[in-house]
Structure 1
């Protein structure tokens, strides 16, 4: 078995889609829209690994504090292939105004990673 996809609620579907396309090489499928339910989504595909579904519906409540962690999905990790790419992508995101909440480092369990927030304040672990 494998994880086929993860899904996250977002307030700005297009901005978040553009973020994952630009920084992580995602390729968006066709936009799905259900006017009756006021629901829209994109499935984002990556060269390797699970897909990410971005979902938008106007009545989904938002997170109250992005720096506070909550029960439920904590983060997802994206592998870049090298320590240098982790560092470069982290710096590019910081330069472009995204919040780095975990500086690049080797963790106690041996991962080299950083943690950034996407436009919707979801945590992304950038790793090798």
Structure 2
């Protein structure tokens, strides 16, 4: 059986992104990995269950050409399950109140998920779903 172990994202604001996922999604973080020779730093963020998000920073990685929050070919979003519909609504409103952009209001989608869509500080689309 194949399982998705983790998704990795490059960022230019490693500590801001780490704090965002810890604060709003309860991620726990490993000790920062630093490779000074390559100018590389990273964290693995763990969520309940086995899923992880690797966030990485490297000065030589160019900023993407995609506009904040736009959809494009390739990885376009990932979903984090927070429990139930009420928790989706509450977290969405908390993020909005804290100044984060909500690009999809809480709703039941055609494929049966109850979800909202927010942008993390780098503009990555994060679906907040009810499990």
TM-score category, normalised to shorter length: over 0.9
Counterpart Cα distance in 2 of 1:3 and 1:67: 24
| Backbone CA RMSD of aligned residues | 0.9
Runs of 4 or more, structure 1, over 6 Å off, are none
The gaps in structure 1 that reach 5 residues or longer are none
Q: Which secondary structure state, in structure 1, belongs to the residue aligned with residue 15 of structure 2?
A: helix
Residue number in structure 2 paired with 1:88: 90
Q: Please list, as runs of the form range in 1=range in 2, the aligned pairs for 1:107-118 lying within 5 A after superposition.
A: 107-118=109-120
Q: After superposition, what is the alpha-carbon deviation per residue over 1:72-122, rounded to whole angstroms, capped at 9, x for unaligned?
A: 111100001100000000000000010001111111111110000001111
Structure 1 window deviating more from structure 2 (58-67 vs 10-19): it is: 58-67
The gaps in structure 2 that reach 5 residues or longer are none
Q: Which secondary structure state, in structure 1, belongs to the residue aligned with residue 21 of structure 2?
A: helix
Q: Which secondary structure state, in structure 1, belongs to the residue aligned with residue 8 of structure 2?
A: strand
Q: Please list, as runs of the form range in 1=range in 2, the aligned pairs for 1:1-128 lying within 5 A after superposition.
A: 1-64=2-65, 65-128=67-130
Counterpart Cα distance in 2 of 1:58 and 1:35: 11
Q: After superposition, what is the alpha-carbon deviation per residue over 1:28-51, rounded to whole angstroms, capped at 9, x for unaligned?
A: 001001111100000011122311
**Structure 2 length as normaliser, TM-score?**
0.94
Cα pair 2:4 2:51 within 8 Å, conserved: yes
**Structure 1 length as normaliser, TM-score?**
0.96
Q: Number of matched residues? A: 128
